[in-house]
């Protein structure tokens, strides 16, 4: 029985890895094509390739459930096409045993996926985003198209690029009075975080005198090598803000959710991303269970192409359901957990029902 489990598991595992490689390659190709439109003198094709490579772990993590569904259909389907599953059933091997043989390598894949999503994808994504922002913004002047905007009191701040380790490239600050007249604008090439403050370097500040007072306005430009900058914006918070919620690790999402709660801000989108990540192993298991039930039920005697088409159709339908229910939970106010569980539960129940009919 051990050899039989290994044979079934290896057949499914190889198929899933092959499908995952194909899907990841296609997703990376589309990402490259999308980024090529932003190529400039500073953001070269080499930078695009680096960005696509650094964001590949996040795409791999996102594609795992669909790859598991299609790969399971192909792996078990090939065994069914060769009548191997029929022979196993005739020899007294139960459907439950076959399900467990498929699920064992899936546990390894799910564990690897969780580790990638928690420890590999987030830092790689942050580095890719930082390098792209640095190349696009060039660090010499403020550009509203790229970078990060932040406001503190009457000061509006634009940061061209956020680098790991508490380093900012290209910091532009605009200071206004209560009547929204600009009092000063400042540009620093770099900012490094110390123990409790930021240290700006190569700072050029332009002061606007007599603004809004009905007299002749004048300007004064001052250059200083360094300047202390006190702002309630830590490197950890910046690294969280610049990334989309889906790219953050579970621990980062949990911390930022409670930070937003303490600030009285809406954290619904981050709750949704949190539950999607926490429940991804359950989602993967539900899709695999449905795939197994298809092989013993309606897809027992169909061609490989039909199985692949069914897997893609079910996977996209599931993804569309999640994409619709997720934003709906933010608009209509029901729990993001409910939005994630509903399609997962439907898939699991359908899988159990089809397996019971096949048994």
Same domain (yes/no): 9, 131: yes
Supply the pLDDT for residue 144: 47
- Give the confidence band of 64 by pLDDT, cuts at 50, 70, 90: very high
Same domain (yes/no): 124, 262: yes
Residue 311 C-alpha from the chain's centroid: 23
Highest mean pLDDT among 151-160, 214-223, 267-276: 267-276
Mean pLDDT over residues 189-204, rounded?
A: 88
Same domain (yes/no): 130, 27: yes
Supply the pLDDT for residue 177: 82
| Domain end marker among 209, 239, 269 | 239
Classify residue 244: in a domain, yes or no: no
Largest pairwise CA distance in the chain: 98
186's enclosing H/E stretch is strand 182-193
Classify residue 141: in a domain, yes or no: no
Supply the pLDDT for residue 113: 93
pLDDT, mean over the chain: 85
Same domain (yes/no): 132, 153: no
> Would the CA dihedral through 159, 163, 164, 166 be positive or negative?
negative
| Domain end marker among 181, 209, 239 | 239
Contact 89, 296 (CB under 8 A): no
Supply the pLDDT for residue 234: 78
CB under 8 Å to 113, separation ≥6 — which residues? 60, 61, 64, 280, 281, 284
Classify residue 143: in a domain, yes or no: no
- What are the CA-CA distances from residue 310 to residues 23, 66, 106, 276 (Å)? 16, 12, 20, 24
Classify residue 231: in a domain, yes or no: yes
Question: In terms of C-beta distances under 8 Å and separation of at least 24 residues, what long-range contacts does 87-95 make, across chains too?
Answer: 88/4, 93/4, 94/359, 95/296, 95/355, 95/358, 95/359
CATH code for position 176? 2.30.30
Highest mean pLDDT among 161-170, 222-231, 304-313: 222-231
Give the three-class secondary structure for 103: helix
State pLDDT tens for residues 3-22: 888 999 999 999 999 999 99
Give the three-class secondary structure for 298: coil
Classify residue 246: in a domain, yes or no: no
Does the pLDDT value for residue 138 go beyond 70? Answer: no
Supply the pLDDT for residue 111: 93
Same domain (yes/no): 19, 98: yes
State pLDDT tens for residues 276-327: 999 999 999 999 988 888 888 766 666 777 777 888 888 888 888 888 888 8
Structural domain of 333: 2-136+258-358
Classify residue 250: in a domain, yes or no: no
Classify residue 245: in a domain, yes or no: no
CB under 8 Å to 92, separation ≥6 — which residues? none
158's enclosing H/E stretch is strand 155-163
Neighbours of 54 (CB within 10 A): 20
Supply the pLDDT for residue 48: 93
Residue 211 to residue 113: CA distance in whole angstroms:
57
177's enclosing H/E stretch is none
């Amino acid at each position: 029985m051990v050899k039989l489990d290994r044979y079934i598991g290896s057949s499914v595992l190889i198929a899933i890895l092959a499908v995952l490689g194909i899907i990841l390659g296609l997703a990376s190709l589309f990402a490259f094509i999308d980024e090529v439109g932003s190529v400039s003198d500073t953001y070269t094709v080499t930078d695009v390739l680096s960005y696509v490579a650094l964001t590949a772990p996040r795409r791999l993590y996102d594609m795992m459930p669909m790859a598991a569904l299609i790969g399971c259909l192909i792996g078990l389907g090939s065994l069914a096409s060769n009548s191997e599953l029929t022979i196993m059933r005739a020899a007294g091997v139960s459907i439950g045993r076959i399900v467990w043989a498929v699920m064992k390598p899936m546990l390894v894949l799910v564990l690897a996926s969780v580790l990638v999503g928690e420890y590999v994808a987030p830092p790689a994504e942050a580095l890719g985003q930082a390098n792209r922002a640095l190349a696009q913004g060039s660090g010499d002047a403020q550009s509203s198209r790229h970078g990060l905007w932040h406001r503190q009191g009457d000061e509006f701040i634009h940061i061209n690029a956020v680098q790991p380790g508490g380093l900012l490239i290209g910091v532009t600050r605009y200071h206004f009075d209560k009547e929204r007249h600009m009092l000063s604008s400042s540009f620093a090439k770099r900012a490094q975080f110390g123990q409790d403050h930021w240290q700006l370097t190569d700072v050029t500040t332009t002061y606007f005198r007599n603004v809004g007072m009905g007299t002749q306005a004048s300007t004064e430009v001052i250059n200083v090598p360094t300047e202390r900058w006190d702002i309630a914006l830590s490197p950890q918070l910046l690294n969280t803000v610049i990334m989309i919620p889906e790219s953050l690790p579970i621990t980062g999402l949990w911390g930022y959710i409670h930070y937003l709660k303490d600030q009285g801000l809406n954290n619904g989108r981050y709750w949704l991303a949190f539950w999607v990540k926490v429940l991804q192993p359950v989602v993967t298991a539900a899709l695999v269970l449905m795939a197994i039930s298809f092989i013993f039920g309606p897809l027992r005697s169909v061609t490989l192409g039909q199985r692949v088409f069914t897997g893609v159709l079910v996977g996209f339908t599931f993804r569309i359901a999640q994409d619709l229910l997720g934003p709906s939970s933010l608009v209509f106010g029901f729990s993001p957990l409910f939005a994630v569980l509903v399609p997962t539960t439907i898939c699991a129940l359908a899988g159990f029902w089809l397996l019971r009919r096949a048994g």
